[in-house]
């Protein structure tokens, strides 16, 4: 079994309904995502899942120098940012891709699958 990081991509600015256009849209996606998460828990592949607050709330920390430096905002300027994530525990990439496809449908966003390192 291996951990895969399923990164949800979303817009840079969140509106009144977070990354969604309307209240109904958000409710529907939240419900679908909740049901999907429940299934992951039942199957034993759930490690962690959550949405992220908007990129403007991010702080970049550089602790590589003598004193840590804190910078307001995300690391890179982009049109799209991480909007949420799953960490799943599955046997191989095929299983991770299948879950990512279902997760993407549930939350209505594109999902990037990143294998984690072996450490």
Where do contacts with another protein occur on this chain (CB under 8 A)? 2, 4, 91-94, 96-97, 113, 115
Report the length, in residues, of the chain.
Answer: 119
Question: Which is nearer to another protein, 24 or 92 (by Cβ)?
Answer: 92
Give the rounded distance of the alpha carbon of 87 from its chain centre: 9
Q: Using the minimum distance from each CB to another protein, give the nearer residue, 61 or 98.
A: 98
Using alpha carbons only, give the angle 82, 36, 79 rounded to the nearest 5 degrees. Answer: 20
CB-nearer residue toward another protein: 73 or 114? 114
Least Cβ distance, residue 50 to another protein (angstroms): 23
DSSP, res 16:
T
93-107 helix and 23-43 helix, angle to the nearest 10 degrees: 150
**Rounded least distance, CB 93 to another protein, Å:** 5
Least separation in angstroms between residue 101's CB and another protein is 11
């Amino acid at each position: 079994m291996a951990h895969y990081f399923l990164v949800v991509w979303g817009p840079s600015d969140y509106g009144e309904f977070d990354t969604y256009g309307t209240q109904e849209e958000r409710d529907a996606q939240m419900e679908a995502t909740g049901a999907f998460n429940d299934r992951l828990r039942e199957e034993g592949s759930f490690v962690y899942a959550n949405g992220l607050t908007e990129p403007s709330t991010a702080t970049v920390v550089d602790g590589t120098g003598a004193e840590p430096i804190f910078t307001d905002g995300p690391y890179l300027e982009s049109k799209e940012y991480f909007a949420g994530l799953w960490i799943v525990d599955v046997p191989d990439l095929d299983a991770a891709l299948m879950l990512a496809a279902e997760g993407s449908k549930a939350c209505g966003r594109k999902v990037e699958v990143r294998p984690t390192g072996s450490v």
